[in-house]
């Protein structure tokens, strides 16, 4: 059973110029770029991947393209979250059948749910899919529903193949609770780029990063330094990583991430409507700021 560790990137989904269609041919080149940079995993069709803007059929076909492109070289996790339990189950079963290494389920959104309802949601989604690794996905700024350590533990005890959680709460105390107050068999990976080194020291298994899907270099370097216990160098790398991440808005803007990836010569295409690129003058200003920061930290577009 392959599990997430180290540097997992929240992959963008390449599209045509107006974002109306997924560019399946471009996925292979993009995955090759990421793998060659030394990443350990790909989290496909999540928030950064515009997964919830795609139809169920588009999500399936896009995942199949990622499976072919990855070809077993790194861990591939398919985000299968949706509001309806039957859609989540459909996506989970598909992800397992086409060869993804595991899946992730974001907490249900729009409505507010009690803790016991969230537990029930995850248990029903994962029923009879007990031979496939699943990660819960906590991003309360977008869902309004927090996955607590208590919720995660209850789900994990009922479904041992729910092996961990991707936490994007940006709350280090919450991350600490997830690490300390869940069983040893339950993994925590974190989407807080500016705290990557910190969460590794706290006991997280790794990151799942949007900015890392565009600039994976510093993430990979930092993880290697952490593994070799060169913490002084890791702190220096964290500072560089933070400067770059802040310049590209901490990964909060999918249009910005896609623009920057296009600038790096990797075809990302456009965004699914209503998302759209920055106006030309703002894009020019962003590129100027980014090029200046990259020069400071020793990296090129």
- Which positions are catalytic? 47, 110, 137, 166
Contact in structure between 139 and 47 (CB atoms under 8 Å): yes
User: Can you tell me the distance from the alpha carbon of 66 to that of 161, in angstroms, rounded to the nearest whole number?
Assistant: 23
Cβ–Cβ under 8 Å, residues 84 and 115 = no
The two three-digit tokens of residue 12, written as one number? 């963008």
Q: Write the CA distances from 191 to 39, 67, 91, 130, 227, integer angstroms.
A: 15, 23, 23, 26, 19
Q: Are strands 6-10 and 41-44 parallel, antiparallel or unpaired?
A: parallel
Residue that has been written with the tokens 């515009």 in this structure: 50
| 45 neighbors 106 (Cβ within 8 angstroms) | no
């Amino acid at each position: 059973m392959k599990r997430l560790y180290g540097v997992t990137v929240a992959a963008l989904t390449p599209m045509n110029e107006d974002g109306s269609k997924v560019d399946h041919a471009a996925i292979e080149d993009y995955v090759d770029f990421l793998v060659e940079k030394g990443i350990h995993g790909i989290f496909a069709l999540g928030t950064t991947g515009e997964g919830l803007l795609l139809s169920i059929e588009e999500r399936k076909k896009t995942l199949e393209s990622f499976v072919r492109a990855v070809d077993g070289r790194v861990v591939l996790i398919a985000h299968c979250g949706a509001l309806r339990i039957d859609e989540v189950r459909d996506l989970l079963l598909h992800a397992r059948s086409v060869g993804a290494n595991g899946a992730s389920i974001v907490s249900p959104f729009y409505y507010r749910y009690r803790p016991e309802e969230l537990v029930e949601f995850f248990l029903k989604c994962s029923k009879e899919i007990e031979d496939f690794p699943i990660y819960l996905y906590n991003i309360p700024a977008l869902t309004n529903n927090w996955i607590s350590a208590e919720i995660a533990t209850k789900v994990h005890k009922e479904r041992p193949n729910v092996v961990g959680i991707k936490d994007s709460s940006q709350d280090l105390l919450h991350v600490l609770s997830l690490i300390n107050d869940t069983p040893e068999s339950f993994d925590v990976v974190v989407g807080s780029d500016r705290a990557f080194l910190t969460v590794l020291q706290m006991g997280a298994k790794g990151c799942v990063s949007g900015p890392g899907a565009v600039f994976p270099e510093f993430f990979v370097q930092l993880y290697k330094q952490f593994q070799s216990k060169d913490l002084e160098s890791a702190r220096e790398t964290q500072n560089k990583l933070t400067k770059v991440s802040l310049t590209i808005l901490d990964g909060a803007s999918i249009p910005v991430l896609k623009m920057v990836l296009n600038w790096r010569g990797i075809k990302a295409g456009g965004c699914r409507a209503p998302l759209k690129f920055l106006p030309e003058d703002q894009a020019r200003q962003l590129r100027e700021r980014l090029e200046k920061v990259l020069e400071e930290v020793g990296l090129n577009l």
